[in-house]
Structure 1
Amino acid sequence: MHGLTGKTPTAEPRDQLISRSMLLLLVAMTGAAPISMYILVPALPMLANVFGRDISIAQMTVSLFMVGIAFSQIVLGPLSDKLGRRPVLLGGLALMMLASVGCIFAETLPQLIAARFLQALGGASGMVISRAIIRDLYARDRVGSMISLVVAVMMIAQMLSPLLGGVIETSLGWRAIFYVIALVSVLVTIVIAVALPETRRAADRPPGASFLSDARSLTTSRAFVGYVLCQVLASSIIFTFAGGGPYVVVTQMGRSSAEYGAWFATSGLAYLIGNLCCVRFSPRHSLERLIWLGLALQFLGAALNLTWGLLGYNQQPNWLFGTHMLITFANAFVMSNSAAGAISIKPQAAGTASGLMGFLQMGFGALCSQFGAWLGGHFATPVPLNIAIVVLSLACAASMIFLVPRGGVIATEDLIEQAEEEETGLL
């Protein structure tokens, strides 16, 4: 618990274990699943034509992929606490590798959808375990900046993956996309097997600890619930806007899908810049202060977007996306630092905390994406979508105000230590 209380650990300094090569490993394992999801998106119309199915069925290769990511995290996170980071991560990547081969040889769309689901189950191991590894290696005050750094580097590849997928599909056919995914999976698995040490220390794991005991102690912590809700609701802003944005720009504003794609890229750029700024500011400011900065900017952007909508300015994409860039810039501060707070509540259960948070993020995000699409498709103005984003912004702030104690994680950890000591005394 030294990372939370400020006490110097005996194995000092753990931060020195991190290098550029470790950063690249974290980026590779984190990006495996999201890049595999987005690289196939340009080929969805081709899949529908090749297999003679409706585009909504082809879309399931992406939607069920998200479901696989959600359920995988809630299983693999706790397993990494129990068995170690390396074996669970290598097992997940091996499953992703085999599932990619299954995608190559799929003869029907249901077979491809099933293989993609397994691909997500394996690939999500990198997403959940990378956060736990960062918590293993870093003191609490450094976790937020390291998550931001990993996300920033990964986003560059993630933003380019649809372009790469389109080029591959046009030049070599849709199956070539899975050849690339399979090859990259093999390379990442080999590199991690050779270069990644086990970061979970057996001494940090109390005897008799289990998923149920870890989940119980985490979910009964107001601070953990507050940080997780803040992170999940902040990410849901992105999912909601992504679901409704195409309908707003293409249907309501009468613009082309290509123009929507160009405008949407500005949101990704703002999120990337936000993560880089978070890395820069993190050494000089506390985790809670950075969250509140993000929440303030996030609400300001949401309120401006609603104002432009009520005044009629939001019928132009530059007004809509101009203020949405402020929202996504602030989003980076909120998401990375609230995630850091959540996995720092109980460091010896960082995998379980990361898994629970990832499950809720993807599950609730999928619902918000559908809700955003309904708002964009059933109204003639973007105002309902603007209102939804304002509400989510306020809910983010409320989770911090009403659930996270003054003093943040440190105050909460003191309460957890006191409860554990009392329980030990009773035994």
Structure 2
Amino acid sequence: MHGVLGKPPRTAADDGLATSKVMLMLLVAMTGVAPISLYLLVPALPVLASTFGRDISIAQMTVSLYMVGIACSQIVMGPLSDRFGRRPVLLAGLLLMVAASVACIFANNLPLLIAARFLQALGGASGMVISRAIIRDLYPRERVGAMISLVIAVMMIAQMLSPLTGGLLETAFGWRAIFYAITAAALATTIAIALALPETRRNRAEGGGFRGDVGSLLTSRAFVGFMLCQVLASQIIFAFAGGGPYIVVTQMGRSGAEYGAWFATTAFAYLIGNVFCVRYAPHHSLERLIWLGLALQLTGSLSNLVWSIGGINQAPAWLFGTQMIVMFGNAFVMSNSAAGAISVRPDAAGTASGAMGFLQMGLGSLVSQSGAFLGGHFATTLPITAAIFVLSLACASTMIFLVPRRDVVVTEQLIEQAEEEESGML
């Protein structure tokens, strides 16, 4: 039995490493290289379609299959990092990204570009999943959520600017310049990790393995509860992102540029939520921070639902104003529930992180499509706001019905430690 409060042994070297700015920058770089590369190409999609003489829906596959690659990478790279170590798996993944990015530069047809983009995501997303495992290797459970929030907050600044950067590169130098930039970023990240990142994975207990890790995680109510809480919270983002453009442009008759400006307000609220999470995490348990986030999610989503029923939020200010409350709380929920999930079995943090990331991206593609349907096939915001409220309720339900109470968890861990000490004495 593995309690959710388990902490790996720490050394003085770990403490120095964990508090360094170098480690923070490495975590940001490895986490951000894949999603930033995703958004850099988005402004160039119309140019790709015209350059290769294909329909825009085919060019869109450079984005959609990229997301599939991210999902596949998470379920593969996480368990591999538990077995072979964080550093070698991460370096192998980033080298694959570098090679695939070079292939993108020289692609002379769209199918080849799409295939290279899939491999680019498969390698680059190794940083997304392994970064969470590294954070759990280095930090005690109560600090993991704050560190994940800190990494996300720094990364989001670059991520929010990446579409603009991609558009400027394409306009000034052509679409291949985007892949030159991605190749340079991936290569720089690989070199930095090779030079500055030591192995952080602790020695595994005898008898461990992928099947054992998966079995112990899936039979843990705490892991399933925290994981579902994180995954369901992320689906709120996918649902709103999928339906938002249709609501603002089609239903409200506003321009695409105005939608982009309004959508940026929700991203800003999510960024500020992560900043506040970093500020308050040292003084509160991650369960308390999750409940704070859940309360804000429910308050914002219920308000939006009420406005929809009354026909009030047919203006962007109402819709996005309350959605900012949802996103502010969402930051607390996602980072701290992720911390809880990867802390159930610290020696299997990679597998836990991979399973969580795979479900998040896999369901996200479906929920995003559903959000687009709800936003594009109705003349009111009610379907999309109702869906977000249901997701908020489901998210809270995982904490109520699946995650054990804190006092029960502490008792179980004390029993486990006593059993281990007794077996060691025998």
Task: Give the shorter-chain TM-score range.
Answer: over 0.9
Which residue of structure 2 aligns with residue 362 of structure 1? 361
Which residue of structure 1 aligns with residue 238 of structure 2? 239
Aligned partners of 1:223 and 1:409 also within 8 Å: no
Equivalent residues in 2 for 1:104-115, closer than 5 Å:
104-115=105-116
Is residue 14 of structure 1 aligned with residue 17 of structure 2? Answer: no
Equivalent residues in 2 for 1:51-90, closer than 5 Å:
51-90=52-91
Gap change, CA 1:339 and 1:6, over 3 Å in 2: closer
Equivalent residues in 2 for 1:311-322, closer than 5 Å:
311-322=310-321
- Per-residue deviation, 1:5: 4.6
Following TM superposition, the consecutive aligned residue runs of length 4 or more in structure 1 with deviations greater than 6 angstroms are 418-421
Gap change, CA 1:361 and 1:348, over 3 Å in 2: same
Give the 3-state SS of the residue equivalent to 2:192 in structure 1. helix
Q: Which amino acid counterpart does residue 161 of structure 1 have in structure 2?
A: S
Which residue of structure 1 aligns with residue 270 of structure 2? 271
- Per-residue deviation, 1:8: 9.0
Aligned partners of 2:3 and 2:409 also within 8 Å: no
Mean CA deviation greater in 3-12 or 270-279: 3-12
Which residue of structure 2 aligns with residue 326 of structure 1? 325
Q: Which amino acid counterpart does residue 282 of structure 2 have in structure 1?
A: P
Aligned partners of 1:288 and 1:408 also within 8 Å: no
- Per-residue deviation, 1:262: 0.6
**Normalised TM-score (structure 1):** 0.95
Gap change, CA 1:282 and 1:296, over 3 Å in 2: same
Equivalent residues in 2 for 1:15-30, closer than 5 Å:
15-18=15-18, 19-30=20-31
Gap change, CA 1:300 and 1:208, over 3 Å in 2: same
Looking at structure 2, the residues matched to 115 and 412 of structure 1 have their Cα atoms a distance apart, in angstroms, of 51
Looking at structure 2, the residues matched to 409 and 276 of structure 1 have their Cα atoms a distance apart, in angstroms, of 31
Equivalent residues in 2 for 1:224-263, closer than 5 Å:
224-263=223-262
Give the 3-state SS of the residue equivalent to 2:276 in structure 1. helix
Looking at structure 2, the residues matched to 89 and 286 of structure 1 have their Cα atoms a distance apart, in angstroms, of 30
Is residue 199 of structure 1 aligned with residue 196 of structure 2? Answer: no
Q: Which amino acid counterpart does residue 258 of structure 1 have in structure 2?
A: A
Looking at structure 1, the residues matched to 59 and 8 of structure 2 have their Cα atoms a distance apart, in angstroms, of 53
Looking at structure 2, the residues matched to 117 and 252 of structure 1 have their Cα atoms a distance apart, in angstroms, of 34
Aligned partners of 1:247 and 1:377 also within 8 Å: yes
How much is the aligned-residue C-alpha RMSD, in angstroms?
A: 2.2
1:172-215 CA-partner distances (Å, limit 9, x unpaired): 1001000000011111100110001110122xx11231111101
Give the 3-state SS of the residue equivalent to 1:357 in structure 2. helix
**Normalised TM-score (structure 2):** 0.95
Gap change, CA 1:106 and 1:218, over 3 Å in 2: same
Gaps of 5+ in 1: none
1:13-47 CA-partner distances (Å, limit 9, x unpaired): 73332211100000000001100001111111111
Looking at structure 1, the residues matched to 369 and 57 of structure 2 have their Cα atoms a distance apart, in angstroms, of 13
Q: Which amino acid counterpart does residue 209 of structure 1 have in structure 2?
A: G
Looking at structure 2, the residues matched to 44 and 10 of structure 1 have their Cα atoms a distance apart, in angstroms, of 47
Q: Which amino acid counterpart does residue 235 of structure 2 have in structure 1?
A: S
Equivalent residues in 2 for 1:410-425, closer than 5 Å:
410-411=409-410, 414=413, 417=416
| % same residue | 73
Which residue of structure 2 aligns with residue 391 of structure 1? 390
Q: How many residues align?
A: 422
1:356-399 CA-partner distances (Å, limit 9, x unpaired): 00000000111100000010111001110000000000000000
Looking at structure 2, the residues matched to 226 and 6 of structure 1 have their Cα atoms a distance apart, in angstroms, of 17
Aligned partners of 2:2 and 2:413 also within 8 Å: no
Gap change, CA 1:194 and 1:315, over 3 Å in 2: same
Give the 3-state SS of the residue equivalent to 1:207 in structure 2. coil
Aligned partners of 1:33 and 1:124 also within 8 Å: yes
Which residue of structure 1 aligns with residue 290 of structure 2? 291
- Per-residue deviation, 1:55: 1.1
Which residue of structure 1 aligns with residue 185 of structure 2? 184
Give the 3-state SS of the residue equivalent to 1:314 in structure 2. coil
Which residue of structure 2 aligns with residue 336 of structure 1? 335
Gap change, CA 1:391 and 1:107, over 3 Å in 2: same
Gaps of 5+ in 2: none
Which residue of structure 2 aligns with residue 46 of structure 1? 47
Looking at structure 2, the residues matched to 408 and 226 of structure 1 have their Cα atoms a distance apart, in angstroms, of 16
- Per-residue deviation, 1:49: 1.0
Aligned partners of 2:3 and 2:344 also within 8 Å: no
Looking at structure 1, the residues matched to 283 and 2 of structure 2 have their Cα atoms a distance apart, in angstroms, of 20
Give the 3-state SS of the residue equivalent to 1:315 in structure 2. coil
1:277-303 CA-partner distances (Å, limit 9, x unpaired): 000000000000000000000000000
Q: Which amino acid counterpart does residue 94 of structure 1 have in structure 2?
A: L
1:192-245 CA-partner distances (Å, limit 9, x unpaired): 10001110122xx11231111101100110110000000000000000000000
- Per-residue deviation, 1:308: 1.1
Aligned partners of 1:240 and 1:371 also within 8 Å: yes
Mean CA deviation greater in 326-335 or 400-409: 400-409
Looking at structure 1, the residues matched to 133 and 271 of structure 2 have their Cα atoms a distance apart, in angstroms, of 22
Which residue of structure 2 aligns with residue 372 of structure 1? 371
Q: Which amino acid counterpart does residue 353 of structure 2 have in structure 1?
A: S
Q: Which amino acid counterpart does residue 169 of structure 2 have in structure 1?
A: I
Looking at structure 1, the residues matched to 316 and 407 of structure 2 have their Cα atoms a distance apart, in angstroms, of 39
Looking at structure 2, the residues matched to 3 and 294 of structure 1 have their Cα atoms a distance apart, in angstroms, of 24
Gap change, CA 1:2 and 1:319, over 3 Å in 2: same
